[in-house]
Amino acid sequence: MSNQWLSEMQEQKIEELLSKMTLDEKVGQMNQLSPSIVGGFDLPFPELIEMVTEGRISHEEFSKIMQNAEMDYQEDNIRAGRIGSFLMNNPKKSNELQRIAVEESRLGIPLIFGYDVIHGCRTVFPIPLAEACSWDEGIFEETARIAAREARSRNIHWTFAPMLDLSRDARWGRIAESPGEDPYLASLYSRAKVRGFQGKKLDAGDNLAVCLKHYVAYGAAESGQDYNTVSMAKSLLYNAYLPPFKAAVEEGAATVMAAFNDFNGVPCTVNEYLLREVLKEKCGFQGFVVSDANAIDDCIRHGIVADLEDASKKSCIAGMDMDMNSHAYSGYLKQQVEAGEVPEALLDDAVRRILRVKMALGLFKNPYSPEEKHTLYDVLPKEHVATALETAKRSIVLLKNENILPLKKGQKIALVGELADMSSEIVGSWSMGFNVEDCVSIHQGLLNAGADVSYAKACGVTSPFQPEELQSVVKDADIIVAVVGETISMSGEASSRADLSLPGEQEKLLEAALATGKPVVAVLMNGRPLTIPWVDQSVPAIVEAWQLGIQMGNAVAEVLLGSYNPSGKLCCTFPAMAGQCPRYYNHPSTGRPGAKSKFSSRYLDAPLEPLYPFGYGLSYTTYQYDNLTAEQAKDMIIAKVEVANTGDCPGEETVQLYVQDITASLVRPVKELKAFQKVSLQPGEKRIVEMKLPKSSLGFYDDDMNYLLENGEFNVYVGTNSKDCLMEKITVIF
Ligand code: NOJ
């Protein structure tokens, strides 16, 4: 957060407040808690969690128990100024706690309420990985805008979003929460999310402070296993993993969350180089950093601190401003300052940053949320639902189509697969505020659209294939639509998978559907790229529909029935086999690029190529690219290409421009996305698409974070995806 948010007078007010604060009160600001559960059930809480995880009780039973549990909101500690923030979504209770903080604590500093508003609040939009496939900044901004409005009405001030971890390994469950594998697209996404959540003025009353997470390189967790270690060259950090964060800081992001992982041996939570040097000094970040949940405590298991006391000291020295739930700062920081182990100036810096965000949000002036607003979005406004539908449609990626889609008018559809009829599964991970009555399953969506559809489950995601159920609906059908994929709990946090094929017996379902001789469409509903080479070979039409939020069913129906022509492009590579992971298009050039020869960078037992490349996505029409030119004019590279709609329906194409630096002092990626442009073309229409690129965007960082612009040769590629491109070589002199 730059000081664009605060006036000099406000900064001065913060200094005055700071000068009045006791050490206890300073530590209090740095302490974030969740309401703790004190009773209401017969078992210890960890045992209860284990029971849900192991499936001994259902999620529904668990929720019931939780609703009856008694919560401890630490009112006395709030009164004593020992708490700065709560992680909660309970508007009425938040007001009550705020009243204690503002009216009964010595200095009356308001609390800041944070919550995970990740891809929507009451209105759930597509999972971020899906939304990023729209390649549409307007959409990125608008969905955040709506989420902010809804969340702020519920007394939430601060969202733990956007998640900006570049994700290049489909095994990592949290790829679902990310905008994919590319730094350029992720940076556009990150800027748009800051604009959407924070609005023009953070204190306007319907905005949220953002929290950029997880800082940093969490997506590079070794072998795609969650919470795993990360080792990488600093140049890779600066060129790939840092840019989305840097862009969002430039856009005015208020807060950052440190990642769980270690970075080159030092957990991000206690990483002074990352927090102070890179983020606060080099990127000029003026807001505050919060730890991830219990992450200060986790440093003990990392083996980098002796105990929680040591963890408290190391985190504060490293530049961690707020402790989420570890009880480390509240337990030890005061005595560490008194003992001279932690300079008080570090606490001042942290508290100043926290107060800045509270001030910028207008919490000193308007600490409470009007009660009449708490239920404002219980019935969703039409415009929010319309944006949910539009976003869902734009997020769908057509992966294959052998003249099957769109379905012909009047065709009788046999709809199969458990996921087709599960309205609670369409929202994806990290959806907490929605009402299941607002969710439209694919089955319901087809019925809403007036399709002639008969449904049978026939196969669960994990429960066995039932051939007789399939037969019961296919007899009279003209076409079979099989919805297959993953349940929500198979992606997101703590949900890495080593096998990325379709879970359970869903492939058997597809095989049996094909054996009927009727045309088959596979609709995928999943939170990550799946390895589906057999499906790609055998099933004539494949629609990647992800988990698209509350309007999923209506969106999928529009695509299947042809009232919407899909235009989504993959923001992540689909590997052919899990053994290819991490697989991403913009990997560094090797000395022996993968080829037919044995002595090239390849596997003996896997195809050379991934299944679908980054940027890939078909349409109901076709496009032809011709006559690429690339020229230099002053500080710009200008690329022009002819794009023609060669099919028989109107469509929107995303024209993509990639660059490869072929004579650099460091090994550079084989291709890097640098620009794209969307064009709408009528059948037979041809247009010259011009894309301008500042020459300065052709540079890169070295290991010391120097940005280098090196003269030399570059390949300029323009095409419909990262693989199928035209190419022109240019020599650039800076
Ligand atoms: C842990 C997750 O890693 C993070 O993304 C989330 O914001 C926090 N928990 C708070 O719920």
pLDDT in tens, 402-417: 999 999 999 999 999 9
Question: Using a CB cutoff of 8 Å and minimum separation of 24, what contacts does 69-75 make?
Answer: 69/37, 69/38, 69/39, 69/40, 69/41, 70/37, 70/38, 70/39, 70/40, 71/35, 71/36, 71/37, 71/38, 72/35, 72/36, 72/37, 72/38, 73/35, 73/97, 74/33, 74/35, 74/36, 75/100
* 213 CA closest ligand 1 atom index: 5
- Cis peptide bond N-terminal to 535, omega within 30: no
Question: How much is the average pLDDT of 269-288?
Answer: 98
* 118 CA closest ligand 1 atom index: 7
Tokens for 372, please give them: 């009449």
d(Cα 454, Cα 478) in Å, to the nearest integer?
11
pLDDT at residue 584, as a whole number: 98
Residues in the chain: 734
**For residue 298, pLDDT beyond 70:** yes
pLDDT at residue 41, as a whole number: 64
Closest residue CA from atom 9 of ligand 1: 293
pLDDT at residue 42, as a whole number: 67
Contact 194, 209 (CB under 8 A): no
Sign of the alpha-carbon dihedral angle for 330, 334, 339, 341: positive
Q: SS3 for 71?
A: strand
Question: How much is the average pLDDT of 276-304?
Answer: 98
Is the CB–ligand 1 distance for residue 377 below 6 Å? no
pLDDT at residue 36, as a whole number: 83
pLDDT at residue 47, as a whole number: 74
Cα–ligand 1 centroid distance for 214 (angstroms): 9
**For residue 43, pLDDT beyond 90:** no
Closest residue by Cα to residue 154 from 119, 206, 210, 85: 206
Cα–ligand 1 centroid distance for 86 (angstroms): 13
Q: Which residues of 350-367 are buried (b: 16+ CB within 10 A; e: fewer)?
A: bbbbbbbbbbbbbbbeeb
Tokens for 231, please give them: 């080792």
Please choose from 33, 213, 269, 496 the residue to mutate so as to test ligand 1's pocket, defined by most ligand atoms within 8 A of CB.
213
Burial of 201 (0-12, 13-18, 19+ CB in 10 A): exposed
**Helices and strands in the chain, H and E counts:** 22, 27
**C-alpha distance from residue 165 to each of 175, 229, 245, 491, 592 (Å):** 8, 14, 9, 15, 29
Please choose from 257, 294, 430 the residue to mutate so as to test ligand 1's pocket, defined by most ligand atoms within 8 A of CB.
257
For residues 509 and 45, which has the higher predicted lDDT (pLDDT)?
509
Identify whether 262 is a catalytic site residue.
no
pLDDT more than 90, % of the chain = 94
Strands 158-159 and 211-215: unpaired
Contact 533, 553 (CB under 8 A): no
| pLDDT tens per residue, range 543-563 | 999 999 999 999 999 999 999
d(Cα 128, Cα 120) in Å, to the nearest integer?
10
d(Cα 188, Cα 286) in Å, to the nearest integer?
21
Question: How much is the average pLDDT of 500-527?
Answer: 98
Strands 211-215 and 686-694: unpaired
Cα–ligand 1 centroid distance for 73 (angstroms): 20
Is the CB–ligand 1 distance for residue 507 below 6 Å? no
**For residue 58, pLDDT beyond 90:** no
Candidates 136, 165, 262, 292; catalytic one: 292
**For residue 223, pLDDT beyond 50:** yes
**For residue 46, pLDDT beyond 80:** no
d(Cα 275, Cα 346) in Å, to the nearest integer?
13
Question: How much is the average pLDDT of 685-705?
Answer: 98
* 177 CA closest ligand 1 atom index: 5
**For residue 717, pLDDT beyond 70:** yes
Q: SS3 for 354?
A: helix
Is the CB–ligand 1 distance for residue 293 below 6 Å? yes
Please choose from 87, 119, 127, 160 the residue to mutate so as to test ligand 1's pocket, defined by most ligand atoms within 8 A of CB.
160
Cα–ligand 1 centroid distance for 416 (angstroms): 35
Closest residue CA from atom 3 of ligand 1: 292
DSSP category for residue 734:
-
Is the CB–ligand 1 distance for residue 413 below 6 Å? no
Cα–ligand 1 centroid distance for 260 (angstroms): 10
Contact 101, 109 (CB under 8 A): yes
**C-alpha distance from residue 667 to each of 590, 603, 661, 702 (Å):** 8, 22, 9, 10
pLDDT at residue 294, as a whole number: 96
Q: SS3 for 32?
A: strand
Contacts of 466 (CB under 8 A, 6+ apart): 457, 458, 459
pLDDT at residue 1, as a whole number: 46
Is the CB–ligand 1 distance for residue 160 below 6 Å? yes
d(Cα 90, Cα 109) in Å, to the nearest integer?
20
Closest residue CA from atom 7 of ligand 1: 160
Question: How much is the average pLDDT of 649-662?
Answer: 98
| pLDDT tens per residue, range 231-258 | 999 999 999 999 999 999 999 999 999 9
Please choose from 88, 261, 493 the residue to mutate so as to test ligand 1's pocket, defined by most ligand atoms within 8 A of CB.
493
* 161 CA closest ligand 1 atom index: 7
Please choose from 227, 292, 491 the residue to mutate so as to test ligand 1's pocket, defined by most ligand atoms within 8 A of CB.
292
Contact 190, 349 (CB under 8 A): no
Strands 712-719 and 651-661: antiparallel
Residue 618 φ then ψ, to 5°: -95, 175
* pTM of model > 0.75: yes
Q: Which residues of 209-238 are buried (b: 16+ CB within 10 A; e: fewer)?
A: bbbbbbbbbbbbbeebebbbbbeeebbbbb
Is the CB–ligand 1 distance for residue 213 below 6 Å? yes
pLDDT at residue 39, as a whole number: 65
Is the CB–ligand 1 distance for residue 292 below 6 Å? yes
Is the CB–ligand 1 distance for residue 5 below 6 Å? no
d(Cα 470, Cα 640) in Å, to the nearest integer?
51
Judged by average pLDDT, the poorest of 55-69, 190-204, 542-556 is 55-69
Q: Give the per-residue SS3 of 11-27.
A: HHHHHHHHHHCCHHHHH
**For residue 29, pLDDT beyond 90:** yes
| pLDDT tens per residue, range 602-611 | 999 999 999 9
Cα–ligand 1 centroid distance for 411 (angstroms): 46
Letter for the amino acid at 415? L
Cα–ligand 1 centroid distance for 446 (angstroms): 35
d(Cα 675, Cα 440) in Å, to the nearest integer?
35
d(Cα 303, Cα 313) in Å, to the nearest integer?
15
Cα–ligand 1 centroid distance for 292 (angstroms): 6
Cα–ligand 1 centroid distance for 404 (angstroms): 42
d(Cα 716, Cα 194) in Å, to the nearest integer?
31
pLDDT band at residue 585 using 50, 70 and 90 as cut-offs: very high
Contact 75, 100 (CB under 8 A): yes
Mean pLDDT score across all residues of the chain: 96
Cα–ligand 1 centroid distance for 95 (angstroms): 23
**For residue 225, pLDDT beyond 50:** yes
d(Cα 196, Cα 455) in Å, to the nearest integer?
39
pLDDT at residue 676, as a whole number: 98
| Element of type H or E holding 144 | helix 137-153
Q: Dihedral (C-alpha) 21, 24, 28, 34: value to the nearest 10 degrees?
A: -160
**For residue 276, pLDDT beyond 70:** yes
Closest residue by Cα to residue 357 from 8, 144, 112, 78: 112
Cα–ligand 1 centroid distance for 17 (angstroms): 30
Domains in the chain, start-ordered, CATH in brackets?
A: 3-369 (3.20.20.300), 382-570 (3.40.50.1700), 623-732 (2.60.40.10)
DSSP category for residue 535:
H
Is the CB–ligand 1 distance for residue 425 below 6 Å? no
